[in-house]
Amino acid sequence: MSARPGIAQRKHNPQPLQGSLDWQNQARCLEVNPEIFFPEKGWTAEPARRVCQGCEVRIQCLTYALNHTELSGVWGAKTERERRDLQRRTKEAI
Q: Where are the domains of the chain?
A: 22-93
**pTM of the shown model:** 0.75
Which amino acid type is present at position 42?
G
Model confidence pLDDT, tens digit, residues 41-66: 899 999 999 999 999 999 999 999 99
Q: Which residues contact 39 (CB under 8 A, 6 or more apart)?
A: 45, 48, 74
pLDDT band for 91, please (50, 70, 90 cuts).
confident
Q: Alpha helices of the chain — where are they, by DSSP H? A: 46-53, 58-67, 80-93
